[in-house]
Amino acid sequence: MTIQDDAVNASGKPHSEKESGVWHPKAPVQFDSSWPRWIKLAIPLTLMVLAFFVDSRITAWTLHHPLTIKSDVGLEVIMLGQWGQWTCSILVILAVALIDRDGKRKALAMTVALLSAVIACYILKGLFGRTRPWVLATGQWHFMGPAYGFGHGASYQSFPSAHASGAFALAAALCWFYPNARALFYGLALQVAVQRVLRNAHFCSDVIAGSTLAVVVVRSVLLWNWPGKLLAKMPPSLQAWYAPTA
């Protein structure tokens, strides 16, 4: 089954629960719904590989041209850079739960998808153990492996970017349920990734890897219906609590 096979019309209505017995929101029609999966993966992976060749040059430039925005504008930019992080994601999920008629189940689905992306990201960060841009003043980088990734803290956890992963995970989850606003959601995620590079927190390939990982994990979790299967195993009283409001 492909994402396109599971796509819905513009109404975005979920599967009938009478048909399957398990709540499963169908995938929305995305701009890439008709693309083969190998193309969806090949494009960002190719960009990531190419980014490895320019990472040092970009970092060398950003180290000598730090991002400095003064006044309230700078504060706004900093806050925008927290899109998709813990506090922001929790508030967005709570808003979905409170505002949407089927918000409780959508909030559960988003929570499962986002946590899956976060766990996958931090496992990979530890396994690769890549140096941060500030570790080596020359802008060079090295993959030091699990010994450094799990044992020497954030300085060796550059790849993939957790900020980019969180930002694109939240965007992908919201786009699943509210596809009409996809440009806004992905735009917010993109500016987070750009800020991480400009602030010397990550290499360009780090944010590409983090964003790709997040979108793949979130879409897979929702497509394979992990939230619906989890909901089906809950006690009837809890399932009733998650039911849509009148």
Question: Residue 51 is which amino acid?
Answer: A
Q: What does the DSSP 8-state code read for residue 21?
A: S
Distance CA 114, CA 166 (A): 7
Question: Are 215 and 168 within 8 A, CB to CB?
Answer: yes
Distance CA 148, CA 103 (A): 41
**Closest to 176 measured CA to CA, from 42, 34, 6, 44:** 6
Return the pLDDT at 42. Answer: 95
| Lookup result for tokens 């979920």 | 14
- pLDDT per residue as tens, the chain (246 positions): 333 334 443 344 444 444 445 788 788 888 888 889 899 999 999 999 999 999 999 988 988 888 888 788 888 999 999 999 999 999 999 999 999 999 999 999 999 999 999 999 999 999 999 999 988 765 568 899 999 999 998 999 999 999 999 999 999 999 999 999 999 999 999 999 999 999 999 999 999 999 999 999 999 999 999 999 999 999 999 888 888 876
Return the pLDDT at 134. Answer: 84
CA atoms within 13 A on the CB side of 107: 20
Question: Are 39 and 74 within 8 A, CB to CB?
Answer: no
Return the pLDDT at 9. Answer: 39
Return the pLDDT at 79. Answer: 92
Q: What does the DSSP 8-state code read for residue 179?
A: G
Could you give the 3-state DSSP secondary structure of residue 14?
A: coil
Burial of 21 (0-12, 13-18, 19+ CB in 10 A): exposed
- Domain spans, the chain: 83-246
In order, the DSSP letters of 128-146 are H-BPPTTTSTTS---B--H
